[in-house]
Amino acid sequence: MTSSETDAAQDILISEEAMRSVLGRVLDDADNARPVQYSFDSTLEEVGLDSLLIAGVIVELEEELDVLLDLQATERLVTLGDLCRALRPVGSSS
């Protein structure tokens, strides 16, 4: 991991392993047979996520990890890392 990747990852509360697990479940439910081999730098488009699948990923992450999506950050969601940075612990005031 480069230093810029390390700096960006500091704001992320979710591990890449947890993200891959959730992506696997959501993409399997969507009948998508592609293996989930992505990083936080992968774009949502590369992963094959449309708006409905993104919503499914968000719901899974919220339920599994007790986090909520920061709605102010939704316009800036381009990569999986952006999505993970937009999630906040329940009860967080930021």
> For residue range 4-42, what is the model confidence (pLDDT) as tens digits?
444 444 567 788 888 888 888 888 776 655 555 788 899
CB atoms inside a 10 Å sphere around CB 57: 20
SS (H, E, C) the chain: CCHHHHHHHCCCCCCHHHHHHHHHHHHHHCCCCCCCCCCCCCEHHHHCCCHHHHHHHHHHHHHHHCEEECHHHHHHCCEHHHHHHCEEECCCCC
Fold held by 3-89: 1.10.1200
Domain positions in the chain are 3-89
User: What pTM value is reported for the model?
Assistant: 0.73
